[in-house]
């Protein structure tokens, strides 16, 4: 059955009952988007675990076709299948109906990153080094709220992947980076009020977060001490309630890339 049009259209509740023994109850993270409009083709391609995987990583902020707020109505899931990988995005149903598009053609207004939202948070994280506390300034980044890349794993399951440009910039999974050896593909800029990082290769994105509030002095002191920032990137980050437990769960998920980023030489400390 084709995933195009409204035949087979349904709204899927992605929240789950923890007493349920279904695959939905075995999701590893809380879902971000509670409901999505899908087609039978999307359900067949993703399966229950794949739907939950996307529900944990997508956030209903702005339509990826018109750029307007997605509001309170369940967004439509649109998947662009490039055969070796795919992009999954959220839209107003009237802007782009739910579909699994494996035709190689994209009809209507082209989807792009023009309407993609991102968020960042500046924090200080405690690490242990040589038996002593090592406080590290960190910039936590969710690089795309409404659109993610997915790839088939070795068990033919669609899994969310962080954009390849972060790997090209030198970011690696947690535990695989030398903490004081800056990655070469990212630079950091610090002012009294803000920390920002910029990718030195396409798409040359900049992510920034304010430094303020009660933790501001501690963050600024950590930046001055370490002369850099730990960049940590994941589509799982939720900054509406960034509790230590949430941040720890993202670290433990394996869905995270990180790298130590040094300050640009002309920064005024």
CA distances to 70, 137, 140, 185 from 167, in Å: 30, 21, 16, 9
Of the two residues 124 and 5, the one the predictor is more confident about is 124
Is residue 20's pLDDT more than 50?
no
Instruction: Note the pLDDT tens digit of each residue in 81-104.
Output: 998 899 999 999 999 999 999 987
- Domain spans in the chain, listed from the N-terminal domain onward: 10-115, 119-145+162-262
Is residue 22's pLDDT more than 80?
no
Of the two residues 128 and 251, the one the predictor is more confident about is 251
Is residue 3's pLDDT more than 50?
no
What is the predicted pLDDT for the residue at 26? Answer: 29
As a whole number, mean pLDDT of residues 202-223 equals 94
**pLDDT band at residue 28, thresholds of 50, 70 and 90?**
very low
Q: How many CB atoms lie within 10 A of CB 47?
A: 14
Is residue 161's pLDDT more than 80?
yes
Reduced to 3 DSSP states, what percent helix, strand and coil does the chain have, rounded to the nearest 5? Answer: 20, 30, 50
Of the two residues 161 and 29, the one the predictor is more confident about is 161
**pLDDT band at residue 176, thresholds of 50, 70 and 90?**
confident
Cα–Cα distance measured from residue 3 to residue 42, given in angstroms and rounded to the nearest whole number = 7
Q: What is the largest CA-CA distance in the chain?
A: 61
What is the predicted pLDDT for the residue at 269? Answer: 46
Residue with tokens 């968020």: 119
What is the predicted pLDDT for the residue at 30? Answer: 58
User: What pTM was estimated for this model as a whole?
Assistant: 0.86
């Amino acid at each position: 059955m084709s995933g195009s049009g409204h035949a087979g259209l349904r709204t899927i509740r992605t929240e789950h009952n923890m007493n349920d023994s279904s695959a939905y109850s075995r999701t590893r993270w809380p879902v971000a988007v509670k409901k999505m409009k899908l087609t039978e083709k999307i359900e067949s391609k993703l399966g229950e675990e794949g739907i939950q995987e996307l529900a944990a990583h997508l956030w209903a902020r702005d339509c990826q076709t018109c750029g307007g707020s997605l509001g309170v109505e369940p967004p439509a899931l649109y998947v662009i299948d490039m055969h070796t990988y795919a992009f999954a995005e959220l839209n107003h149903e009237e802007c782009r109906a739910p579909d699994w598009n494996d035709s190689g053609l994209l009809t209507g207004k082209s989807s792009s990153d023009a309407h993609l939202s991102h968020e960042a948070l500046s924090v200080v994280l405690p690490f242990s080094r040589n038996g002593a506390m090592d406080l590290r300034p960190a910039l936590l980044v969710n690089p795309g709220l409404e659109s993610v890349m997915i790839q088939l794993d070795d068990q033919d399951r669609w899994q969310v992947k962080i954009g390849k440009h972060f790997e090209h910039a030198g970011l690696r999974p947690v535990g695989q980076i030398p903490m004081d050896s800056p990655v070469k593909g990212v630079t950091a800029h610090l002012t009294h009020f803000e920390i920002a990082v910029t990718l030195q290769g396409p798409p040359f994105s900049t992510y920034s977060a304010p430094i303020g509030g009660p933790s501001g002095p501690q963050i600024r002191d950590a930046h001055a001490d370490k002369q850099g920032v730990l960049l940590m990137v994941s589509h799982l980050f939720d900054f509406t309630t960034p509790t230590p437990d949430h941040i720890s769960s993202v670290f433990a998920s394996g869905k995270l890339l990180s790298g130590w980023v040094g300050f640009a030489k002309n920064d005024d400390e």
